Amino acid sequence: MEIRTLKIGKRVWQLVNESWSNSNGWGHKTNVIRNGFDFGETKTKYLNRTWESYTYQSNMFKAVNNIKADELNRFIESYKYKNNVDRFKKGEKEQVIKDFEKTEIARDLNKLYKAIETRQFS
């Protein structure tokens, strides 16, 4: 097991990585934890080998991307509900995505992604 930690402001993000194997292959599992609460989990099964810069890198990328996609979808659905929108007008969705990128969670996930990329953890 390996734990990578990144502190962003008062928030502490942890990536808890584990390996597993069985007769059909092997893989990595990453749990993303923010301030002690489980934020998401990703599993990846490998049949041969990975082409990562370092162990668990691709699975950590996948975990952060999955969480960001889920948070974006929640943000969009919330916007639609609050504004009584069934379908976006031209350019409206792009503006909502820009607004999402300004949120604390999006900024944190972007910083976490960059930390995985550069191995700059606390």
Q: Could you state, in order of their start, the residue ranges of all structural domains in the chain?
A: 2-118
What is the structure's pLDDT at 75? 98
Report the distance separating Cα 57 and Cα 90, nearest Å: 37
What is the structure's pLDDT at 50? 65
What is the structure's pLDDT at 46? 84
Residue 33, sorted as left (phi over 0), alpha (psi -120 to 50) or beta, turns out to be beta
How far lies 82's CA from each of 77, 86, 98, in Å?
Answer: 9, 11, 17
The residue ranges of the chain whose pLDDT is under 50 are none
**The pTM of the whole model exceeds 0.85:** yes
Q: Is the dihedral of CA 16, 58, 41, 46 positive or negative?
A: negative
